[in-house]
Structure 1
Amino acid sequence: MSALFSPITLRGLTLPNRIMVAPMCQYSAGNGEANDWHFTHINSLALSGAAMFCIEATAVEAIGRITPGCLGLWNDATEAALKPVLASLRRHSNTAVAMQLAHAGRKASSHTPWDGGQQIPIAEGGWQAEGPSALPHKENEAAPLALDSAGLKRVRDAFVAAARRAERLGIDALEVHCAHGYLLHQFLSPISNRRTDAYGGSLQNRLRFPLDVFDAVRAAFPHHKPVGIKVSCTDWVDGGWDIAQTIELAKELKQRGVDWIDASSGGVSPLQKIPLEPGYQVPFAQAIKQAAGVNVMAVGLITEATQADDIVTSGKADMVALARGMLYDPRWGWHAAAQLGGQVAAPPAYWRAPPHQHKDLFGATTFGAR
């Protein structure tokens, strides 16, 4: 049996394979509300063959959006907008559904990538960003406001409220976004965190707020449902956050019952220099797994079925998460299963799809029931 298509259990959730559709910002919401684009995007990739689909970075408050088009879950309207999308998914797919809860921090109030991605001035419809310190992401940007104690509580409470809304929506798992230069990563990195209080300075202090948020989300979400976290394992900048500090964070998270660590990198500084190549972030996942003994997901330029299978087979990671590869090939899981001798689930209307040499792709029972 292919290791990639072997089951894994995360608390009360058993997944039939080790593939997740990674959360991918779509920048297509209106006032944080899902719309027909999300209906199309989510329903399509829920049929990819991956055991779990993770909804894109979902802002826990309006000022925590990266762009005006980012998805949110901070009020009744944003919660209601997701209901019909999820109801349709549940009718036609048995994939587990996760959601990534996020706050952009100082990287908020930005244009969409296809409009240049630069900061939107308040006078042009933007909003005041907040962060751990009054340091802009780029030199020419307006500085964020440094969060005070009331602001820290407000943000933590917003994560909790979003977790509770996610539970009402029937979400199966949560991932706390602590990567890519967004708010929780900003607290971790000495590049963006220059605080002199209990949330800045030493590693222990810089860990404090992200761990507070994780603890609060874990407590608010049902115990039998898993909660993971996405981290940037390095800033790719000298003097920034690095893998050694990430391992210390992972050890703290293990004590708190984290169900997986999604090992990514970068995002906190425009000075980063990332050596892109296939699987370039896999060593981070492997280092965390070996040092902290937690479930890890490998991400980053994983595109080939044999590559993904080798990552799991060799013990470098417990799961893989694919983003752009899934957009390019929305049936990536089907094709990987066909190549590796695995099986995936599909709705009855698709049971006639596999070519004869892969007639058992959907399993003997479902395929024979046509």
Structure 2
Amino acid sequence: MSVRDTRTSAGTTRSDDERFPVDNPGVEHEPPRWTDADPDAGRSAYTFVVGCFALVPVLAIAFVVIYFAVPQDVFIDVGSNHYMAQHLLLGLTLGLAILLIGVGAVQWARLLMDDTERTEERHTAASSAETRTAAIDIVYQGLQETNLGRRKLIGRSLLGALGVLVAPAAVLLADLGPWPTARVRAETIERTIWGEGVRLVNDVTYEPILAADLEIGQLVNAEPENLQEFHGHHLQVERAKAAIIVVRMDPNSITIPESRSSWHVNGILSYSKICTHVGCPISLWEQQTHHLLCPCHQSTFDLGNSGVVVFGPAARSLPQLPISTDAEGYLIATSDFTVPVGPSYFERDSRNDYEDGDA
């Protein structure tokens, strides 16, 4: 189909092609931008943009200083909220630094870059070689229109602002966690607050658990009584590691190895509540089979046989907590777990994990 184009005196194109039923309206005349019309306004905008970028290094340095200088046990009260001072100040300095880069970049584009409006005809999705070459030319033209040739300080201050943000990023990345040396693991993830004489308490009411009150087939979610001595972050860390389940089974229906003959109280046993696969909390209890099922990936542990894995992806037995009773008949721990609780990881030496058939 032939296409007939005519051009008006205004330069717009009309066509009898059905794809273009509306005449090209062209580009409406726009008054000059105020920063282009007023040299003082342009200089003020230039100073503002440079100032935004120049403040970023100051805030980045403040971030690093706050990280090392402000103790983690200092808090700021704002109304009814209780904030850790270090976290609040780190958030403010880093947030303002990123905000200033954004504000400076936006004002640079709005007030100082080239403001000429243009239109172009739509084209098919597949660009020709000439179009790609033209696109590259437009990119270079855009670089020229940033006016960095005349206002070099903007580019330098922006590069400095972006470059100095490496310092806060490096500090945060270095603090993702301690190096997992044997000593660090032994002091953190491989120990809990369980110990000799620590009472087992209900994880909701914190009431001590009386051995005589447990019925055969019953399961209770529990925590150590000394968990109440911790607060904030430390409370959550210790709670996650020390969570246990307490079950009572008929002693005649379970297997108690000789090495664990003193770890139970008349069929009452205690195990870690944390699955050894990926750390999900588990308490789906099958009374008849003595199996404990993890809801995440269906790892199944036989609590009637020292917590060995009978199904699923878990590779380690569920850690068992040695327990006894005190003079009042309440359940107490006789030691910490003998193996680390929680999911396995490649550094862990799991040779002490119980396996079916161990003595």
Structure 2 length-normalised TM: 0.20
Work out which of the two has the higher radius of gyration on C-alpha atoms and give 1 or 2: 2
Greater RCO (Cα-Cα under 8 Å, separation 6 or more):
1
